[in-house]
Structure 1
Amino acid sequence: MKKPGLTVKVLSGLVLGAIAGLLINLFIPGYFDALNSYLFVPLGQVFLSLINMLVVPLVLFSIILGTAGLGDPAKLGRIGIKTVAYFLATTTIAIVIGLSLAAVIQPGLAGDFDLSSAEFEAEKAPSVGDTLLNMIPINPIAALGEGNMLQIIFFAVFIGLALTALGEKTEGLVRLIEQGNDVMMYLVGIVMKFAPYGTFGLIATAVGSQGLSAMKAMGSYMLVIVAALFIHAIFTYGGTIKFLAKKSPVWFFKNFAPAMSVGFSTSSSTATLPISMEVAQEKLGVSKSVSSFVQPLGATINMDGTAIMQGVATMFIAQAYGIELSTMDLLTVVLTAVLASIGTAGVPGVGLIMLAMVLGSVGLPPAGIGLVIGIDRLLDMTRTAINISGDAACAVYVAETEKKRDLRTEKINV
């Protein structure tokens, strides 16, 4: 009898965790805190700690090898431009979808919301200019210790370019980095064996702490966001795979499902990065050089799922407060959200910080975030699954276009 694969195991853990959390919340809520403290949280946190442990060395090794593997700096620039252009375009599409659905369904008019209890202290996010300047690490070792992804990526790209330029002189160092990368990927495989149990714990905690009452109160808001995420995944990413990469969208989502499941349970693109890269390379056939460059960058600056939340939440809060947004306001929301996706890269609680920036840009009270913060944890899981899918779709698209370019070059040379 064939053993169930990783996808089945992770999805089983996800479903069982949701069922367990919901049943405990409904029938024995008094026992939830004890079960959560001694069972669910330890299972989830052990899994998160294991994969977070691998993120920094994996990103460092993989981007160095990816940059060195591309060889030609012009090729790196070409791939970089395609990647960033794709991320900006899909983020724009995502927020337009979110705004459009919220304008049609009007979730902010679905019930009476207690605006007096809406409280949220907005943190100040760095500007896009500051973020670009802060990409250059003053101390690369400190950047590695702090897990500052943009600085790690910048430093790793420089190392990769130097290895390419020095060629044979640094063959030994390249082999050492390749071996380090192999060790990291081997450890990812080991950690993934614990993924079903970690997923169970994380989902049980999220669902058990929220329960049906919170979900019913914000049902319309949740429905709009989930619908927008689904539309974006099917049409934007499915269209990318179908028309740009010339592959089957069904093949893409079926093979990327294990990473999406882990992203759903962890609510962190960065934490899911080791798994999403492994799946892209092993299941989707993306070359290591392209995967190693595109996916870590995407995990840092590509936030389509979060952009959808910005659009829906902005419309929801405006409707709840009875404020009508003009066409110019809506265009401002789109522009601010796209720029904020870069400007707040790597900042903890990035989704709510971005939302505070967007609300401020059109004169809406940031305190309105208090209306949506209660169920943000559940929605964060769904948008993370979409975020990492966008990174993978971009990697497949870039990899396929580079393959075709290489083939054309070979024919010309022959």
Structure 2
Amino acid sequence: MKILKYKKFAGLHIVCKKCGRHIEVSQTTYKGCIHPLDRQKYKAVFKANGVRKTRDLKSLDYDDAIRELLDFKEELANPIQFISKPQKVEVKIELLKDCIMMFGDWLENVDVPNHQKRPRTNGYIKTTLQYLVRFSKFLEDNKFDLNKFKIYDLNDVIVGKYYDYLDETCKMASTHNHNTKALKNFNNFLINHKGFNVPNYFGKIKLKYESMNPTSIKDDDFKKLLDAISNKDSITIYPDGRRKNEYRPYTRDAIELVAYTGMRIEETMVLKYSDIVLDYDGNVQHLVGTDLKFERAHNWNNTKAPKKVMIPTSIELENLLNRLEYKKYLGSDKYLIADDYDISRKTLKTQISHSFTFFRKKAGLSDDFSIKHLRKTFLTKLHTKTGFIESLGYQRSAKVTLNNYIDKVQVVKEINRIGFGYFSE
């Protein structure tokens, strides 16, 4: 694999904009990046006042990149001096492939003023760019030269053919819509943030209707899953021979906590003993969680009070908290799950998700549900047994909850169980 010219220089790296890896020393060290040269950029990385500062350098020439790096370093050392420095005239980018790379930089907040920056996960950025690369590949397959294809060459005919292509290749409406939304955001970026005088072709596309049919996990299936969680026969063997133990001492506790709180996995993994609230008699009244998905979308700049979720206490949740010795750690800043382990919450979330899938298969259960269905199961039970689901803050609105999380079949079964008649008392 060919990479940009590189000589060791303090703060200088080469990053692949396709996979985000630093590749200046050895590709094998960084898990085998195989992406082409035109996806690479020089990158400056420094520490200023204890904070990591980075900047993607514009030049692809080594000497010019070094000059940019030194300017950036001086800017960090003298931030006020550089405020009054006249801005360079921006070179107008017109090629579609260059516009996509520019969009990628914007998503990563590269050279974006602080007041316009938005936090985005690496997963979101990666998948968004993959949808745009898919569109580029479609153009290439239809004999368009990407080295000449400009953003001004887009038209309704091309967009219409791509829409038909998505119709043929996307099995689910949600997949079709994810592709379309990425292109809509890209088009809006060019028009609203970069001032391109181009029609909003993708804005004319109507999203497909997504028929929601939430399902929940049967009680017996969940019990079988829990019984399968042990350190016996817990090794995954990958095709390349790698072995991974899917069991940890906290695996079952973590999966049960997701089930009994109804929170998303990442929200569950950050619950602490200090989030437990007792009543006047000293019994567990509820836990206080945070709707992280809402926070990222509507409170990303932390200008509002966090959206809290009041998690009711079930018999199962109280039993779990007793196993976790909540009375011993009550009020402390310790995580309920894996606090004593050197593991990030993000890694823990992924680990628990993978373990759930492994032990579901080990229990011989079908693959039509994942750990995410634990939330649907909890909210369905809460809805059918109490009717108080709207007031606890699990979703932004009752409509979102009813459409996306409530298993209608289970609602019918519960109605039948308690008895329903037009005239019966």
> When you count strand as a share of all residues, which structure comes out higher?
2
Q: Give the TM-score taking structure 1 as reference length.
A: 0.24
TM-score between the two structures when normalised by the length of structure 2:
0.23
Higher RCO (C-alpha 8 Å, min separation 6): 1
Q: Which has the larger radius of gyration?
A: 2
Compare the two structures and name the one with the higher helix fraction. Answer: 1
